[in-house]
Amino acid sequence: MKIGFIGLGIMGKPMCKNLLKAGYEITAYDIFEKAVDEVVECGAARGTSNADVASKSDVIITMLPNSPHVKTAVLGEGGIIEGAKPGLVIVDMSSISPIASKEICETVEEKGCFFIDAPVSGGEPKAIDGTLAIMVGGRKEIFDKASELLDIMGGSVTHCGEIGAGNTTKLVNQIIVAVNIAAVSEALVFGKKAGVDPEAIYQAIRGGLAGSTVLDAKAPMMFDGNFNPGFRIDLHIKDLTNVLDTGHDVGASLPLSASVMEMMQWLKSKDLDKEDHSSLVKYFENLSGIDIRK
Protein backbone atom coordinates (compact mmCIF):
# COMPACT_ATOMS: atom_id res chain seq x y z
CA MET A 1 0.00 0.00 0.00
CA LYS A 2 1.47 3.34 -1.10
CA ILE A 3 0.69 6.22 1.26
CA GLY A 4 0.55 9.94 0.66
CA PHE A 5 0.86 12.41 3.54
CA ILE A 6 -0.13 16.05 3.14
CA GLY A 7 0.37 18.49 6.02
CA LEU A 8 3.52 18.25 8.12
CA GLY A 9 2.92 20.62 11.01
CA ILE A 10 3.17 20.06 14.75
CA MET A 11 0.90 17.02 14.51
CA GLY A 12 1.37 15.78 10.97
CA LYS A 13 5.14 15.49 11.06
CA PRO A 14 5.38 12.98 13.94
CA MET A 15 2.37 11.07 12.60
CA CYS A 16 4.10 10.71 9.24
CA LYS A 17 7.32 9.64 10.96
CA ASN A 18 5.49 6.89 12.84
CA LEU A 19 4.16 5.49 9.57
CA LEU A 20 7.68 5.57 8.12
CA LYS A 21 9.00 3.72 11.17
CA ALA A 22 6.33 1.07 10.55
CA GLY A 23 7.76 0.50 7.09
CA TYR A 24 5.24 2.24 4.84
CA GLU A 25 6.26 3.78 1.53
CA ILE A 26 5.24 7.44 1.80
CA THR A 27 5.21 10.41 -0.54
CA ALA A 28 4.93 13.60 1.53
CA TYR A 29 4.04 17.18 0.71
CA ASP A 30 3.69 20.47 2.55
CA ILE A 31 3.82 24.07 1.35
CA PHE A 32 6.76 24.54 3.76
CA GLU A 33 9.82 22.87 2.25
CA LYS A 34 11.67 22.55 5.58
CA ALA A 35 8.89 20.36 6.95
CA VAL A 36 9.19 18.09 3.93
CA ASP A 37 12.98 18.00 4.26
CA GLU A 38 12.70 16.51 7.73
CA VAL A 39 10.47 13.58 6.74
CA VAL A 40 12.50 13.01 3.56
CA GLU A 41 15.54 12.55 5.82
CA CYS A 42 13.50 9.86 7.60
CA GLY A 43 12.79 7.99 4.36
CA ALA A 44 9.80 9.67 2.71
CA ALA A 45 9.73 10.57 -0.97
CA ARG A 46 9.22 14.25 -1.79
CA GLY A 47 5.92 15.19 -3.39
CA THR A 48 5.79 18.31 -5.56
CA SER A 49 2.06 19.06 -5.19
CA ASN A 50 -1.15 17.64 -3.80
CA ALA A 51 -1.95 16.19 -7.23
CA ASP A 52 1.53 14.66 -7.49
CA VAL A 53 1.09 12.91 -4.14
CA ALA A 54 -2.30 11.59 -5.25
CA SER A 55 -0.88 10.15 -8.47
CA LYS A 56 1.56 8.04 -6.42
CA SER A 57 -0.74 6.88 -3.63
CA ASP A 58 -3.43 4.35 -2.77
CA VAL A 59 -4.32 6.16 0.46
CA ILE A 60 -3.71 9.81 1.29
CA ILE A 61 -3.68 11.23 4.81
CA THR A 62 -4.29 14.96 5.17
CA MET A 63 -3.47 16.86 8.36
CA LEU A 64 -4.27 20.52 7.72
CA PRO A 65 -5.35 23.55 9.79
CA ASN A 66 -9.02 24.05 8.86
CA SER A 67 -11.86 23.45 6.42
CA PRO A 68 -10.70 25.85 3.65
CA HIS A 69 -7.23 24.28 3.63
CA VAL A 70 -8.68 20.78 3.25
CA LYS A 71 -11.06 21.90 0.50
CA THR A 72 -8.18 23.52 -1.40
CA ALA A 73 -5.87 20.53 -0.96
CA VAL A 74 -8.50 18.06 -2.09
CA LEU A 75 -10.64 19.94 -4.60
CA GLY A 76 -8.64 23.02 -5.61
CA GLU A 77 -6.32 23.65 -8.53
CA GLY A 78 -3.50 21.12 -8.38
CA GLY A 79 -5.46 19.28 -5.73
CA ILE A 80 -5.69 15.63 -4.82
CA ILE A 81 -8.63 14.93 -7.10
CA GLU A 82 -6.65 16.11 -10.14
CA GLY A 83 -4.05 13.40 -9.61
CA ALA A 84 -6.27 10.71 -8.10
CA LYS A 85 -6.77 7.26 -9.52
CA PRO A 86 -10.23 5.69 -9.11
CA GLY A 87 -10.57 4.08 -5.71
CA LEU A 88 -8.15 6.43 -3.93
CA VAL A 89 -8.95 6.71 -0.22
CA ILE A 90 -8.53 10.11 1.43
CA VAL A 91 -8.27 10.00 5.23
CA ASP A 92 -8.66 13.55 6.48
CA MET A 93 -7.23 13.74 9.99
CA SER A 94 -7.64 17.51 10.23
CA SER A 95 -10.09 18.99 12.71
CA ILE A 96 -12.63 20.73 10.50
CA SER A 97 -16.35 21.40 10.30
CA PRO A 98 -18.44 18.24 9.90
CA ILE A 99 -20.47 20.18 7.35
CA ALA A 100 -17.31 20.68 5.27
CA SER A 101 -16.44 16.97 5.60
CA LYS A 102 -19.81 16.04 4.11
CA GLU A 103 -19.41 18.51 1.23
CA ILE A 104 -15.90 17.30 0.39
CA CYS A 105 -16.94 13.65 0.61
CA GLU A 106 -19.82 14.16 -1.81
CA THR A 107 -17.54 15.67 -4.47
CA VAL A 108 -14.80 13.08 -3.92
CA GLU A 109 -17.22 10.19 -4.34
CA GLU A 110 -18.53 11.73 -7.57
CA LYS A 111 -14.96 11.34 -8.86
CA GLY A 112 -14.84 7.63 -7.97
CA CYS A 113 -12.75 8.04 -4.82
CA PHE A 114 -13.48 7.77 -1.09
CA PHE A 115 -13.23 10.12 1.88
CA ILE A 116 -13.42 9.63 5.63
CA ASP A 117 -12.97 12.15 8.44
CA ALA A 118 -10.61 11.00 11.20
CA PRO A 119 -9.66 13.89 13.52
CA VAL A 120 -7.42 13.26 16.50
CA SER A 121 -7.04 14.28 20.12
CA GLY A 122 -3.97 14.16 22.33
CA GLY A 123 -1.71 16.93 21.10
CA GLU A 124 1.91 16.75 20.03
CA PRO A 125 3.11 14.34 22.77
CA LYS A 126 0.63 11.66 21.74
CA ALA A 127 1.30 12.31 18.05
CA ILE A 128 4.96 11.61 18.76
CA ASP A 129 4.41 8.38 20.69
CA GLY A 130 1.58 7.13 18.45
CA THR A 131 -1.14 7.08 21.11
CA LEU A 132 -3.61 9.60 19.71
CA ALA A 133 -7.33 9.18 20.18
CA ILE A 134 -8.77 8.96 16.67
CA MET A 135 -12.48 9.38 15.97
CA VAL A 136 -13.69 8.40 12.52
CA GLY A 137 -16.72 9.14 10.35
CA GLY A 138 -17.49 7.55 6.99
CA ARG A 139 -18.26 4.29 5.28
CA LYS A 140 -17.42 1.33 7.51
CA GLU A 141 -15.72 -0.57 4.69
CA ILE A 142 -13.41 2.40 4.04
CA PHE A 143 -12.71 2.75 7.75
CA ASP A 144 -11.75 -0.94 7.80
CA LYS A 145 -9.37 -0.41 4.89
CA ALA A 146 -7.63 2.48 6.64
CA SER A 147 -7.65 1.04 10.16
CA GLU A 148 -4.19 -0.55 9.98
CA LEU A 149 -2.71 2.92 9.35
CA LEU A 150 -4.80 4.55 12.04
CA ASP A 151 -3.75 1.91 14.56
CA ILE A 152 -0.10 2.93 14.07
CA MET A 153 -0.83 6.57 14.86
CA GLY A 154 -3.42 6.04 17.57
CA GLY A 155 -3.82 4.42 20.94
CA SER A 156 -7.57 4.27 20.43
CA VAL A 157 -9.42 4.31 17.10
CA THR A 158 -13.21 4.50 17.07
CA HIS A 159 -15.65 4.44 14.16
CA CYS A 160 -18.30 6.95 15.26
CA GLY A 161 -20.75 6.79 12.36
CA GLU A 162 -21.33 8.24 8.92
CA ILE A 163 -19.27 10.97 7.29
CA GLY A 164 -18.93 13.98 9.58
CA ALA A 165 -19.36 11.92 12.74
CA GLY A 166 -15.62 11.97 13.41
CA ASN A 167 -15.44 15.75 13.31
CA THR A 168 -18.62 16.11 15.35
CA THR A 169 -17.06 13.86 17.99
CA LYS A 170 -13.85 15.92 17.88
CA LEU A 171 -15.86 19.10 18.43
CA VAL A 172 -17.51 17.47 21.46
CA ASN A 173 -13.99 16.69 22.71
CA GLN A 174 -12.89 20.28 22.18
CA ILE A 175 -15.88 21.67 24.09
CA ILE A 176 -15.06 19.45 27.07
CA VAL A 177 -11.33 20.26 26.96
CA ALA A 178 -11.90 24.02 26.64
CA VAL A 179 -14.44 24.20 29.45
CA ASN A 180 -12.30 21.93 31.64
CA ILE A 181 -9.18 24.08 31.19
CA ALA A 182 -11.21 27.18 31.98
CA ALA A 183 -12.61 25.52 35.11
CA VAL A 184 -9.14 24.40 36.25
CA SER A 185 -7.83 27.93 35.69
CA GLU A 186 -10.66 29.65 37.53
CA ALA A 187 -10.50 27.21 40.45
CA LEU A 188 -6.74 27.37 40.99
CA VAL A 189 -6.70 31.17 40.80
CA PHE A 190 -9.60 31.23 43.29
CA GLY A 191 -7.65 28.94 45.63
CA LYS A 192 -4.54 31.12 45.46
CA LYS A 193 -6.61 34.28 46.04
CA ALA A 194 -8.12 32.60 49.11
CA GLY A 195 -4.64 31.93 50.48
CA VAL A 196 -4.11 28.24 49.67
CA ASP A 197 -1.11 26.91 47.70
CA PRO A 198 -2.44 25.95 44.23
CA GLU A 199 -0.04 23.00 43.99
CA ALA A 200 -1.34 21.63 47.30
CA ILE A 201 -4.88 22.00 45.97
CA TYR A 202 -3.92 20.11 42.83
CA GLN A 203 -2.39 17.22 44.77
CA ALA A 204 -5.40 17.07 47.08
CA ILE A 205 -8.07 16.91 44.38
CA ARG A 206 -6.43 15.05 41.50
CA GLY A 207 -7.39 11.63 42.89
CA GLY A 208 -11.03 12.56 43.43
CA LEU A 209 -13.96 13.31 41.17
CA ALA A 210 -12.43 16.61 40.07
CA GLY A 211 -9.39 14.75 38.76
CA SER A 212 -9.03 14.54 34.99
CA THR A 213 -6.52 14.12 32.18
CA VAL A 214 -6.85 17.84 31.54
CA LEU A 215 -6.06 18.67 35.17
CA ASP A 216 -2.98 16.43 35.19
CA ALA A 217 -1.72 17.72 31.85
CA LYS A 218 -2.38 21.43 32.25
CA ALA A 219 -2.09 22.35 35.95
CA PRO A 220 1.68 21.58 36.08
CA MET A 221 2.19 23.73 32.96
CA MET A 222 0.37 26.58 34.67
CA PHE A 223 2.52 26.26 37.80
CA ASP A 224 5.72 26.20 35.74
CA GLY A 225 4.65 29.07 33.49
CA ASN A 226 5.31 26.73 30.59
CA PHE A 227 3.01 27.73 27.77
CA ASN A 228 4.96 26.19 24.91
CA PRO A 229 2.25 24.88 22.62
CA GLY A 230 1.12 21.33 22.66
CA PHE A 231 -2.13 22.74 21.32
CA ARG A 232 -2.24 26.45 20.53
CA ILE A 233 -4.94 28.90 21.55
CA ASP A 234 -5.46 29.94 17.91
CA LEU A 235 -6.21 26.32 16.96
CA HIS A 236 -8.69 25.99 19.81
CA ILE A 237 -10.33 29.21 18.64
CA LYS A 238 -10.63 27.57 15.22
CA ASP A 239 -12.26 24.51 16.76
CA LEU A 240 -14.67 26.56 18.86
CA THR A 241 -15.59 28.54 15.76
CA ASN A 242 -16.52 25.24 14.12
CA VAL A 243 -18.40 24.25 17.29
CA LEU A 244 -20.48 27.43 17.27
CA ASP A 245 -21.08 27.35 13.50
CA THR A 246 -22.19 23.72 13.65
CA GLY A 247 -24.30 24.42 16.73
CA HIS A 248 -26.10 27.19 14.88
CA ASP A 249 -26.62 24.86 11.91
CA VAL A 250 -28.15 22.05 13.98
CA GLY A 251 -29.93 24.24 16.53
CA ALA A 252 -27.82 23.36 19.60
CA SER A 253 -27.39 25.87 22.43
CA LEU A 254 -23.73 26.31 23.44
CA PRO A 255 -23.43 28.95 26.20
CA LEU A 256 -20.32 27.48 27.85
CA SER A 257 -18.49 27.15 24.52
CA ALA A 258 -19.36 30.76 23.69
CA SER A 259 -18.03 31.94 27.06
CA VAL A 260 -14.69 30.16 26.67
CA MET A 261 -14.44 31.48 23.11
CA GLU A 262 -14.61 35.03 24.50
CA MET A 263 -11.83 34.21 26.99
CA MET A 264 -9.64 32.88 24.18
CA GLN A 265 -10.40 35.93 22.05
CA TRP A 266 -9.12 38.09 24.94
CA LEU A 267 -5.89 36.09 24.91
CA LYS A 268 -5.65 36.60 21.16
CA SER A 269 -6.06 40.36 21.64
CA LYS A 270 -3.01 40.19 23.93
CA ASP A 271 -0.98 38.33 21.26
CA LEU A 272 -1.03 35.14 23.32
CA ASP A 273 -2.81 32.99 20.75
CA LYS A 274 0.34 31.09 19.77
CA GLU A 275 0.70 29.81 23.34
CA ASP A 276 -0.69 26.53 24.66
CA HIS A 277 -4.37 26.58 25.58
CA SER A 278 -3.32 26.20 29.22
CA SER A 279 -2.60 29.94 29.03
CA LEU A 280 -6.33 30.37 29.64
CA VAL A 281 -5.16 30.71 33.26
CA LYS A 282 -3.82 34.16 32.33
CA TYR A 283 -7.35 35.38 31.70
CA PHE A 284 -8.34 34.54 35.28
CA GLU A 285 -5.04 35.77 36.71
CA ASN A 286 -5.65 39.10 35.01
CA LEU A 287 -9.13 39.36 36.55
CA SER A 288 -7.87 38.56 40.06
CA GLY A 289 -4.56 40.40 39.92
CA ILE A 290 -2.41 37.38 40.93
CA ASP A 291 -0.63 34.49 39.30
CA ILE A 292 -0.26 30.86 40.34
CA ARG A 293 3.37 30.34 39.30
CA LYS A 294 5.70 28.47 41.61
**Known active-site residue 192:** no
Q: Report the chain's terminal Cα–Cα distance, integer Å.
A: 51
Residues 6+ apart with CB under 8 A from 74: 50, 62, 80, 81, 90, 92, 104, 107, 108, 115
Distance CA 95, CA 137 (A): 12
Catalytic: which of 170, 192, 238, 282?
Answer: 170
Q: Which of 125, 172, 176, 132 is nearest to 151 (CA)?
A: 132
Q: Known catalytic residues?
A: 170
